[in-house]
Structure 1
C-alpha cells in the first residue's frame, strides 16, 4: 500500500506510535478523521502521516495537547503571523526551566536523604527509611503536581 491508503495499524507502524494514541488524537481533534473503506477501515493519507509526525515531535518536546493544538492551528494557516508561535514557545521554555529547577531541588533532597544511610544495616536502623517516615510535607514547595503529595 502507498501512503495514500494506510490503515491505522500501518500508520501506527510508520509513525512508531500506538494505534490507541492515533485514535486519541482523532478524538481530541488533533488528527482529522480518516476516510473509510468499503469494509469500514480507516484509511489515512500522507497528510495524516505528516501531521502525526508533527504532533509526535511536539509531544517529544513535552508540549501539552493544548500547545500542540495551537501550533497545529498556525500550521494550518501558513499565511498567519507567527508571533503567537514565538510566545507559545517562550512560555514553554519558561515551563521547562521551572521544571528543571524543580528537578534540581528534588535531586538535592534525594541526595540529602541518601546521606542518611551510608552502610547496609538492618532496615529498622536505615536512615533513609527513617528520613522518609519523618519527612511529612517537607518536599520542595515548587514541585507542583510531580511531588510532595499523594499519587
Structure 2
C-alpha cells in the first residue's frame, strides 16, 4: 500500500511552499497522483522523488527548462548517462563563466575601494566618479559588442 500525501504534506516534507508545487504543476513538471472527491490533490512517493529532484537540480543552478530536459532524459528509455553528462558539463561551463565575471567585478570593487578617501566630499568621490564613467564605458562597450569587437560584460569594470 502506497501512502499518498496532500499538497500541504508534500510541501512540508520536501521543504517548499504549496504555491511552488502548484507552479510546477502548471509547468507540467509535477502532477498529482489522484484527487479526492473534495478536490484535494494527492501525491505518491514518485511525485515526492520528482519534487526533490527538481529542488536538488535548482540548487545546482539548473533552470526549470533545463530540469524539464533532465526529467525527460530520466524517463526516456533510449537516453544514456552521457546525455545527462553533456548537460551537466554545459551547466558547469556556464557557472565557471559566471564565477569569472563575479571575480572581475570583485577586483573592480576592490580597486574602487582602494582609491576611496572617506573624508572627501561626494563631488570628489572616486567611486561615484567611476560609476559615472562606467555608464559611458558601458554604452561604448555595448556598441563594440554589436559590431563584434567587444570583450563581454567582465570587461566593463576593468
TM bucket normalised to smaller:
0.7 to 0.9
5+ residue gaps, structure 2, are: 142-150
What is the CA-CA distance between 1:119 and the residue it aligns to? 2.3
Do the aligned residues in 2 keep the contact of 1:6 with 1:44 (CA within 8 Å)? Answer: yes
Alpha-carbon separation, structure 1, partners of 2:13 and 2:2: 9
Match of 2:48 in 1: 49
Alpha-carbon separation, structure 2, partners of 1:98 and 1:30: 28
Seen in structure 2, the aligned counterparts of structure 1 residues 121 and 64 have a Cα distance that, compared at 3 Å, is same
Aligned length: 144
Secondary structure of the structure 2 residue equivalent to 1:115:
helix
Residue pairs, 1:1-150, within 5 angstroms: 4-77=3-76, 80-138=79-137, 142-143=152-153
5+ residue gaps, structure 1, are: none
Seen in structure 2, the aligned counterparts of structure 1 residues 132 and 75 have a Cα distance that, compared at 3 Å, is same
More helix by share: 2
Alpha-carbon separation, structure 2, partners of 1:78 and 1:59: 24
Query: Normalising by the residue count of structure 2, what TM-score does the alignment of the two structures yield?
Result: 0.78
Cα deviation code 1:69-115 (max 9, x no counterpart): 11111222356322211111111111111111111111112112222
Alpha-carbon separation, structure 2, partners of 1:43 and 1:107: 47
Query: Normalising by the residue count of structure 1, what TM-score does the alignment of the two structures yield?
Result: 0.81
Do the aligned residues in 1 keep the contact of 2:32 with 2:47 (CA within 8 Å)? Answer: no
Alpha-carbon separation, structure 2, partners of 1:143 and 1:8: 42
Alpha-carbon separation, structure 2, partners of 1:137 and 1:28: 41
What CA RMSD, in Å, does the superposition of the two structures yield over aligned residues? 2.5
User: Of the two, which has the highest radius of gyration?
Assistant: 2
